[in-house]
Every structure is written in structure tokens, then in C-alpha cells.
Amino acid sequence: MTRFNKQTEEEDTRPIVLLSGVDEDSLSDESDGLPVYSLVGCDSELFDRFIEAKRTGTSPLEVLTSHTAPGNYDGEDEVRRHRKTERDEDADLIEEATVGEPVTPVFSESPSYIVGGTMRPYQIQGLNWLISLYEHCINGILADEMGLGKTLQTLSLLGYLKNFRHIDGPHLLVVPKSTLQNWMNESRRWVPSLDAFVFHGDKETRAQLIQDRLRHVQFDVCITSYEMCLSERAALRRINWEYLVIDEAHRIKNEASKLAGIVREFKSANRLLITGTPLQNNLHELWALLNFLLPDIFSSSDDFDGWFASHSGRAQEEMVTHLRRLLQPFLLRRLKADVEHSLKPKKEVNLYVGMSEMQRLWYRTILERDLAAVNGLTAGKDGKNRLLNIVMQLRKCCNHPYLFDGAEPGPPYTTDEHLVFNSGKMQVLDRLLTRLKANGSRVLLFSQMSRVLDILEDYCVFRGYNCCRIDGQTAHEDRIEAIEDYNRPGSDKFVFLLTTRAGGLGINLATADIVIIFDSDWNPQVDLQAQDRAHRIGQTKQVCVFRLVTEHSIEEKIIEKALQKLRLDQLVIQQGKLTNVNKPLSQDEMLSMIRHGAEQIFTKNADEAKDGQNDLDIEELLRKGEEKTKEIQGKYQNVGYDDLQKFTIEAPSALHIEGSHEPIGNGGQMGGMLFLQPGKRERKGNYHVDTYYREALRIHPQKVKASKPPMPKDYISIHDFQFYPPRLQELMDRDVLAFQRAAEYRIPEGVEETEEEREKREADQRAIDTAIALNDAEIAEKEKLAQQGFRDWHRRDYVAFLRGVEKHGKNALRLIEIEGKTAADLEAYSQVFWKNLERLSDYEKIEAYLEAYDVKRKRDQEIQTILDNKLARHKKAHTPLHITYFGGKGKQFTEEEDAFLIEQLASIGIAHEDAANKLRESILHSPRFRFDWFLKTRTAGDLQRRCHKLISFIEREQREIDERAEPPKPRSRAVWIKDGNKRSAKRTRK
């Protein structure tokens, strides 16, 4: 007889406390077999309704609406309600006195079966809480912050079952592959009385373990990974588990995933979920967890979602409060700051580094490679994918240019100083590690990219730093060896290289006190998990977290976005807002990130940037980093939920209207088109044989790059959109040539100069040699002309002006807003702009675009008027909106749905920049279509096509109305005379 069969024969002495409002008969085996869950001390009204819905087979919505208010009872309720008699009460008292009641043990100190050390007070409280869950037949969620010892608390519960309740198991622990050995080591260390084993390995090893261990249940605890649950589901399903424990429980929040489906098939008496990340307060994810813990009650996600969708405003807030009270008995979450006072708070510093010359070159090349996408001229899924690709390439460039094929000099490839000076981050990291090594610190170095770890590993070998490494391709045995080697007392390992995803979960590396985030993750929770590998129980030093951020690049926006998301997570959890905060990046948000810092990349002097990196002072960098980190963290520290939502940029819609060549809400393309102009064509190949081999073999040293020609201090960089007088450019050119002649400047010869290039260089040199300085009158004229242009108008102001004209028209200046510009500034610039439009280098293209948008704007106004007239006619006649379908209505949309679309589109405005998404939001929030699955699942594209069709119907209807309303044509004078004679004849006969 197997052990789990023996346990089923033993009498379970755990108390069963019924829910309020549910009698024993309703939950008996003869009814529906629902398990009984004790929710002592909580408001279980919400819980009762779902039980009643499950028992009666009705929707919780119907149960809710038909629920009798407290104090109102009908006759049948009066009959069923009765008081206990005195005899019954006496019998119960005698039974309690003689039989007694099972007592749940409460530990005040570390249990005796914990031999590897002493549990902390809050861990003992966690053990008591877990025991209470077990004794009351409740499944639970242990959600303590990462690093508070959830592993120990879980193992102590299993030790309690073995040593106090004499329940040996079997227990199944499903954990990430990277933490398998850690769980095994912790079990041996803390609760050696548990017979635990790791179920993992190749096919032959697993087959042997199944034969020796699983088939005869010769164990207490089976520790396995998610992958093994998928591969060996048949073997694991045969066993009736006492406890099913899932570590990193957020893996089953998606009930449609294969893992979530398989673990739900495992038979277990009790279930425990472990997660170190806070619940995201997404309704569907919350239902998935409740469904796993209480599958017989929360069986329908549609009922669960529908029950909350039926409430709004204050009613929904009350429902959230009920739900939180429902979760309270079986969810425990504590923070380090509240319970672990011996653990010093970690110190976080963002180190803002510059780019190397090679990085700047690659960064600029990436931006110029796909100008259409960078300028916002792409749309749809293809446009978004192109932007995502640019984002990825820019992030690679910020890390190290050697991530691009062909960037690293070679072959042959060498490990040399060029690994350091060709990346701004590597330059800072090199000096930072030197400082940390001298201070006796040990470092965890995280990156998202395994190829970055390749470069870092070569760097560590080059500098002589002993290191370990874990990434997604590291074998399980190698992971265990690397972790043990690093944590071994007296270990000489200085750096541990880890990928953020593979090495950020469940690994204890508290022997390190420094965490360096080489590149940040989009999800701030992932970076927090990585930091907590060192900032956890057992850490005796203060943990310092250094995050490397490339200044004036896309990484600054990524950090800002992560801080917004982290703050939004906190507010959502605190306020109980049922909102999905994990929204994907919109196209406009990606454009904003890509464009951030591009101006510095294209305009900043590369030599100045390089000099700044060479003169890097690590102490000064740390000081500035601390100041900037405090500044950016303080920016979001006190931001409210509503204000934080404004930071999100919504993508423009693509709602096309018949007769318009541009989509509704397609604003910003004109401005985006001018964001970045194509660069000049450059030679990229070297076809000279001798030079090629000289560079490949590095026989000849690299020549120093020629310095830029000298320029006068009062030189003005003139742009066509600033509308300086043409005469100023002529005077400036002469002044520059004279200045260079006075400086005895010689134009350097180019490498392998062609005949044409040589002739141009000589002509330019002759112009310098023969230059004549400006006289006093010309100098005065130059200074006067310099005051006549718009010197304080930069390209971003010019682009904003074009966007405003594109959106509102050239005669609606009052509606155009540009940061730092007053109405008078706009008026002055507008007058000069329209008078001198032909002076712009691409004025024909600008003029064509503005004319097209003017036509579109008039078309939008025309359609808006037709829709308003349509609604006004029906409102005046007090009749519901009716649409005349010419050629058939179609089978998909009903007339009620069509009427709603037209009403909402007219209310939102046909020219609204986000009309399609607004229209879809109106549908999702309308109670009229709460159960209209078809309409609620229509995409913006579906609504676009339907509105396009409906507008064509309404336009045709309006044309017919206009034709009927035309006055009759006036008849000729002869007809009037003839009719008059007829009437006179009739009067005469009378």
C-alpha cells in the first residue's frame, strides 16, 4: 500500500467551518460535491454568491441581482429559520467538554526540526500562517517580497507535516530550472528529515528516477521544473500529491498556457503558490489564480469578468474592497522594509555615460538606415515592426558596437584595449571595477543579451578578473557548479556574469554586495528580481546597485518609462484599480524614444565627446549620477494615478473616410517627415589592395583623424527655416574664409584622393588664400542682418509649427501651441513663413502636404456637418436614429449597433486624432453592449470599415434630401397668362 493511499484512510481531524449563508446539505456529496473552504474572519458575501451560483447553475450576475436584502425575508425563509433548543445546546456543551477540539499549534520560536539555523520572527509567523491554512483546508499564496525566505517557510511547513502530523507526503515542488539545486540545498540544510530529490535530467535519467522513485513513491518531496511537468506529465499525474507548490506562480497567470493547463490536472489535497512579484491587479490574471486555488467555485472567467463589468464607479470600488477582503485570509505579502530591519536598504545610482566615437557612428547609421520609419511615415503592423527593430538596434549600439557584424576589427580578432575604448559603458565599467576590486567588493553583472556577456567575459579574462557565468544556454549542472563556486567561503571569483532573465530568479548570491545593471529591462520588476539576488537575507553589507545608462540616447527614455511603470504598479495596487498596466508600447512612444537624443548625435562635436570620455573621473561621475538619480526618482515619487496616465502617448488612429486620401488622426507625419533628412552618400568600401591588407594586418598605424577647420566665434549656423536674409549667408562665408586665412589653415589631403577631390580641395584652398576680410561697413551690415532672422527657432519648433498648421490650418494660429513660443512669436513667424515659403529647400513637398491636409480638413468638416444634421433631424422628430441602407445592410452589424457607432462618432468628432480607439472604448464601456460579444471584439480596423460604409449611406441620404428641398423651377410668362384665362372663364360661366 502506497503512503498516499494510507493517508486517505486516516481520519482528517482538521476543523471544517462553513461559509456564512451556506448550509451543510448544500455542500454535501449528494448535491454538487463542492469542497468546503473556511474563511474565518473575512467578509465572505462575495464568496457565498459564487458558491450559490455554482450550486444552482446560474450566473453570479443573476445571483447578485436576485439576492434578498438583509432584513427582508419571505414566508419560506421564516419556516427554514429556527433557534437551537436548550436540550440541543446542552448536548453540544457536553460533547465539547468531553471530546475537546483540535488545537492548531502555534510556534513562538524556531521548530526543533529546523537544524540549519534559526528562523527569524517573521518567518515563524509565516510558518504559523501556512499551518493555519492547512488546518482550515485553505489553499494559499505566499507573496513575500523577494529575499525574505519564502523557500525556508515552505520547507518548514512540509517539515511540520512530517514531524507533527506524521504526513510524509508526497509533495510536489514545481520551480524554475535555475533554482532546482537551490531548493535541494536548502532542504538538506534546514529540514534534513525530509527525503527530497530532484526530478530532472536527460531521458534515460528521468526514466530511472521514475522507476526507482516515482512509481513506488519512495520520497517525501519531489522537486522538479516547469519543463519536466510538460515532458513527464503522465508520470506526475499518476500520484495523488499531498501538497502541490508552485514557485514563481506568475507563470500560471495565463490559464491558456500549456503549463497552467497541466498543473491543473495534477491531483493534490492542498495547493500553495509562491511569488515574489506583486499581483498586477488584472482581473483575468486574478481569476486565473483564484481558479487554481478554488477551481470548483471560480470555474468561469466569463462570469467573474462579467460580474465586475456590471459595476462602475463607486459600486466597482466596493466590489474591489470585497474582493480584497476575500483574498486576505489566504494571501500573505510582507516587505523587507517592514520585517527585515537587519537588512540595510540598497543604494541605487544611475551612471550616465557618453558614447565612444564608434558608437556615435553606428547610432547615426542606424537612424539614417530607415528614414521613413524614424520620420513617422510608416503605419500599420509593418511600421511598428520596423520601429521595434530600430529600438533593438539602438539598444545594442548603446551596449557595445561589436554586437554588429563587421564592427570589430579583424580577422584576426584580438582581446585588447579596443574592447574598452570603443564603448562608453565599458570605459566606465573598467574604472568602476578597478575601484570596487580595491575596496574588496564582489560584483553581480547583469545584461539582457548573452552576446554582451561574451564581450564581458573576454574583458574579464583580459583584465585578469576571475568570473562565473550563467545565461539561458547554461546547463543545469553548470549552473549549480557556478553558484556553489561563487558562494564558497574564500572564493576568488570577483565577478558573476548573468543574463537578467536567466539569472534573476531564485538564485541566492548574497555573498556579493555590488549589482551592476549593464542594460535595463523594459519591465522594472525583472531588474528588481535581479537586484534581490544580492539584497536578501544573509547579506551583511549594504548593497549598491549601479545602472549604466547611455546619455542622450534611447536608454534614458527606457529608464523613464520603467520608472513610470513602477510607480503606476504601486498606485494600482494601493488604490485597487482594476487596470491592465502592462500596455505594449505604442508607435508614437517608440518614435519619441528613438528621436530622443538624436539631435546631440548629429550636432555634437565627436572630438569633444571623445575628450570627455578620456577625462572621465569616476568619483565625479558617481556624484553626478547620485544627483540625477534622486532627481528622476523624485519626479515620479509623488505623482498621482491620473497625472501619471497623462505620460502615456496614445497611438493615432487609422480611420479612413471616403474621399480622403489621409487617415483620420494621422497627425504628426508632416512634422515627423522633417525630423531627419537623408545624409550625403559616402564611400563605404575600400578597393585599394595595398591599403586593404595594410589595415587588415595592422602593419601601418591608424592615422589621426583630421581636425575640423577653424571657425570664428560669432559664426552662425544658418538654417533655411530661420529665414535669415540671403545676404547674411554671403557675408558669413566671406568672414569664415578670411578667418581661416588669418589662421593659416591648410585643407589636409585625403587618403587615396581622386582627381576630382584633389581639384575641389585646391579650389577651396585658393578661396581661403585669396579671401579678403570684411570692412567695417560689411561687419555692421552682418550684425544687423543677424538680428533679422529667427535665431531662437530650432528644428523642433519648426516641426511643431508644421504639425500645428497641418492639424488646424494656417489661419488658426490661436489653436497652435509650441513650448516657449507666445502668440506674438507665432504670428510673426507665420507671416514670414508664408511669404518666403519658396526659400525652403523642400518647399514643393511641404506645400503639397499642407494642401493635402487642408483638403482633408475641409472634408472632415463636411462629414461632421452631415452627421450633425442627421442626428438633429431625428432629435427634432423625437424618433430613434434610423439609417437608410442603400444596397443592403449586411449580416454582421445590427441597426442598433450602427446607430450607436454614428452617434458616438459624431460626439467624438470625425477629425479627432484618436477617433477609432475612442470609438472602441465607448463600446467597451457601454452597458447596452455588455453581452454583445461580436461588437466588443471588433478591432479598430473593423470599426473603420463599418463607419466608412455608414457615412457613405448617410451622405447619399443627405444628397437626396437636398435634391427634394430644391425649389421648383419658375414657369414662363405664357403659362401664367394661360392659367389666368382659364380661371377667368370659369368665373364667367358661374
Distance CA 921, CA 781 (A): 60
CB neighbours (10 Å) of residue 445? 26
Task: List all residues 6 or more positions away from 206 whose beta carbon is below 8 Å from its beta carbon.
Answer: 199, 200, 228, 231, 232
What is the distance between the alpha carbons of residues 408 and 229, in angstroms, rounded to a whole number?
43
Residues 537 and 147 sit within 8 Å (Cβ to Cβ):
yes
Q: Does residue 327 or residue 366 have the better pLDDT?
A: 366
Residue 421, classified by CB atoms within 10 Å of its CB into exposed (0-12), middle (13-18) or buried (19+), is: middle
- Contacts (Cβ under 8 Å, ≥6 apart) of 41: 329
**Nearest of 711, 890, 722 to residue 791 by alpha carbon:** 722
Q: What pLDDT, in 10s, does the model give residues 568-608?
A: 666 654 444 444 445 566 777 777 777 776 767 766 654 55
pLDDT value, residue 577: 43
The pLDDT value given to residue 64: 39
pLDDT-wise least confident of 333-347, 365-379, 945-959, 975-989:
975-989
Query: Rounded to an integer, what distance in angstroms lies between the CA atom of residue 969 and that of residue 980?
Result: 19
Query: Could you report the per-residue pLDDT of 630-650, keeping only the tens digit for each?
Result: 887 777 666 655 555 555 433
Regarding predicted confidence, which is higher, 525 or 990? 525
Check pLDDT > 60 for residue 99: no
Could you tell me which CATH number the domain at 1-341 has?
3.40.50.10810
81-95 CB burial, b ≥16 within 10 A, e <16: eeeeeeeeeeeeeee
Distance CA 739, CA 189 (A): 79
CA distance 546 to 528: 12
pLDDT of residue 19: 33
**Residue 256 CB neighbour total at 10 angstroms:** 7
Pair 246, 273: CB distance under 8 Å: yes
- Alpha carbon distance 854, 807 (integer Å): 9
Helix pair 314-327, 45-56: axis angle to 10 deg? 90
3-state secondary structure at position 470: strand
Burial 872-908 (b: 16+ CB within 10 A, else e): eeeeeeeeebebeeeeebeeebeeebbbbbbbbbbeb
pLDDT at 700: 42
More confident residue, 55 or 381: 381
Q: How much is the pTM? A: 0.47
439-479: pLDDT as tens digits: 888 899 998 888 888 888 888 888 888 889 888 788 777 88
Task: Say if CB 783 and CB 727 are below 8 A apart.
Answer: no
Angle formed at CA 929 by CA 923 and CA 933, multiple of 5 degrees: 95
| C-alpha count within 13 angstroms, C-beta hemisphere, residue 627 | 6
Which ranges of 82-146 does DSSP label H, i.e. alpha helix?
86-99, 121-135
pLDDT of residue 937: 80
The amino acid at residue 708 is K
Assign residue 94 a region: left if phi > 0, alpha if psi is -120 to 50, beta otherwise? alpha
Nine cell digits for residue 117: 539555523
Is residue 553 within 8 A of residue 363, CB to CB? The reply is yes
Q: The domain 347-357+417-589+602-645: what is its CATH number? A: 3.40.50.300
Distance CA(50)–CA(615), nearest Å, equals 68
Angle value at C-alpha 920, between 914 and 925, nearest 5 degrees? 120
- Predicted confidence at residue 283, as pLDDT, reads 62
Q: What pLDDT shows up at residue 131?
A: 86
pLDDT in tens, 478-512: 888 888 888 888 888 899 998 887 765 667 788 88
The separation between CA 235 and the C-alpha centre of its own chain, rounded to angstroms, equals 38
Neighbours of 316 (CB within 10 A): 16
933 pLDDT exceeds 80?
A: no
Question: What is the number of other CB atoms lying within 10 angstroms of the CB of residue 641?
Answer: 15
Integer CA distances (angstroms), 959 to 61, 122, 656, 953, 962, in order:
47, 77, 21, 10, 5
Least confident of 140-154, 276-290, 500-514, 908-922: 276-290
Cβ neighbours of 630 (radius 10 Å): 14
> What is the C-alpha separation between 952 and 885, in angstroms, rounded?
10
Helix (H) or strand (E) holding 175: strand 171-175
For residues 401 and 419, give the distance between their C-alpha atoms in angstroms, rounded to a whole number: 10
Q: What pLDDT, on the 0 to 100 scale, is given for residue 682?
A: 45
Residue 820 buriedness (CB in 10 A; 0-12 / 13-18 / 19+): exposed
Predicted confidence at residue 223, as pLDDT, reads 92
CATH of domain 703-786: 1.10.1040.30
- Distance separating alpha carbons of residues 330 and 337, to the nearest angstrom: 22
Highest mean pLDDT among 171-185, 502-516, 828-842: 171-185
Do 858-965 and 1-341 fall under one CATH topology?
Answer: no
User: How many other β-carbons are positioned within 10 Å of the β-carbon of residue 199?
Assistant: 23
All structural domains of the chain with their residue ranges: 1-341, 347-357+417-589+602-645, 703-786, 858-965
Residue 988 in this model has a pLDDT that exceeds 70: no
Share of the chain above pLDDT 90, in %: 2
Task: Yes or no: say if 588 and 650 are a contact pair by the CB < 8 Å rule.
Answer: yes
User: What's the whole-number average pLDDT of the chain?
Assistant: 73
What pLDDT, on the 0 to 100 scale, is given for residue 580? 45
φ/ψ (deg, to 5) at 711: -130, 145
The architecture in CATH of the region 858-965 reads Orthogonal Bundle (1.10)
Q: 684 Cβ partners below 8 Å, 6+ apart?
A: none
Q: What per-residue confidence (pLDDT) applies to 683?
A: 46
Q: Quote the pLDDT of residue 936.
A: 80
CB-facing half-sphere around the CA of 573: CA atoms within 13 A:
11
- Residue appearing with cell numbers 480611420: 655
User: How far are the Cα atoms of 292, 410, 548 from residue 424, in angstroms, in the given order?
Assistant: 48, 21, 10
List, edge to edge, every strand of the sheet that includes 140-142.
Answer: 196-199, 221-225, 171-175, 241-246, 268-274, 140-142, 331-332
Weakest-pLDDT range from 52-66, 79-93, 839-853, 871-885: 52-66
Q: Which long-range contacts (CB under 8 A, 24 or more apart) does 178-182 make?
A: 178/470, 178/479, 178/502, 178/503, 178/505, 178/506, 178/507, 179/247, 179/505, 179/506, 179/507, 180/223, 180/224, 180/225, 180/476, 181/476, 181/479, 181/480, 181/483, 182/151, 182/483, 182/506, 182/507, 182/508
